[in-house]
Amino acid sequence: MAVFVDADTKVLVQGLTGGQGKFHGLRNRDYGTQIVAGVTPGKGGQDVEGVPVFDTVAEAVAATGADASFVAVPPRAAPAAILEAAAAGVGFLVCITEGIPAQDEALVFNTLLRRHPGTRLLGPNCPGIISPGKCNIGITAGEIAQPPTVDGPNVGIVSRSGTLTYQALYELKQVGIGVSTCVGIGGDPVPGTSFVDCLAEFEADPETHAIMMIGEIGGSAEEEAAAFISEHVSKPMSAYIAGVTAPAGKKMGHAGAIVSGGKGTAQGKMDALAAAGVQVGLNPTEAGERMAVIVSRL
C-alpha cells in the first residue's frame, strides 16, 4: 500500500504546455507515473510528447479518467486552477506554485472545505509527493527515493521543507531503508494538507512501519502534530526542526517560517515532539541516523 497515491493513480498536469509543467510532468511520466493528460485553456487538441492536451479539466477527466492533478501554473492562475480541478471531481491535487498570496490560499482552502470536501490539496509551494516505485507527482527526483520492500520495515516521510525532503529521502536510501510514501506539505501559511493529516494516514498504512518528520520554525503545526502523536500515533518516529538559530521576527525562506511573539521557535517545537516520544535529531543527518537505529530494531 501507499499513502494518497499509488501505481493506479492517473494524473493530469495543469500547465503541461508551460516550461515547468512540461519539464516536471514528463519527468514524472518517465519515472513511471501515469501522466494521462495536460490542461491548458486554448491549446486543446495539441499534445506534449504524446500526452494529449485539453482546454478544461472536466474534458480531460471525461476523456482519461484522471483522478489526480499536478498544478504547475503561475501564482495568479493557481487558485482558479485548483478550484477548477476540484469542481471537475479530481480527488487529489498537488500544487507546486510558489508566491500565492496567503489571502488567496485561505480562500481556496475554505472553498475546498465547503464545496469540495472530497478533494485533498497538497501544497501550495511544495515539492509534491512520491510513493517510490509507484507514483511521483511534483518536483522530487525519483532516483533519490528507495522503494519499499514487501516485508519492510519501511518509513513514511512528511516534511514542510522542500530541500530537506530530498535530504531525508537520500539519507534513508544511503542506508537501504525503503520509503512507503514521502509527502512534502509545503511551508506556506495555509497548507492544504497538514502534518496531522499525513500522520493519521501513515499510522493507518500497514506498509509504513516508522515515520520521519521534518519541520521548521514558524506557526504551530509541529506543536499540533506533537499533540496528535501523543494521542494517536503508535509507530516510532524521528524528526528534525530547521531554524534553531533563526532570529525572531525575520522570515527565513518560506512565508510561514517566521518566529513571532516568542512563538514558533525551533526549540519549542523540538521540546514538544520529544515530550511526545519522538526522537529528535539536531541536524538532518542525525534524524536519519536515529531512524536507521529505529528501523534496525523493528
Rounded to 5 degrees, φ, ψ at 224 are -65, -40
d(CA 137, CA 92): 11
Annotation says 232 is catalytic: no
d(CA 102, CA 106): 6
Q: Are 257 and 187 in contact (CB under 8 A)?
A: yes
d(CA 104, CA 1): 34
Say which of 24, 116, 209, 254 is annotated catalytic: 254
Q: What is the DSSP string of 208-272?
A: --EEEEEEESSSSHHHHHHHHHHHH--S-EEEEEE-TTPPTT---SSTT---BTTBS-HHHHHHH
202 Cβ neighbours under 8 A, 6+ residues apart: 3, 156, 158, 180, 181, 208, 211, 235
In Å, what is the CA distance from 169 to each residue of 33, 145, 227?
Answer: 18, 5, 25
Positions marked active-site: 254
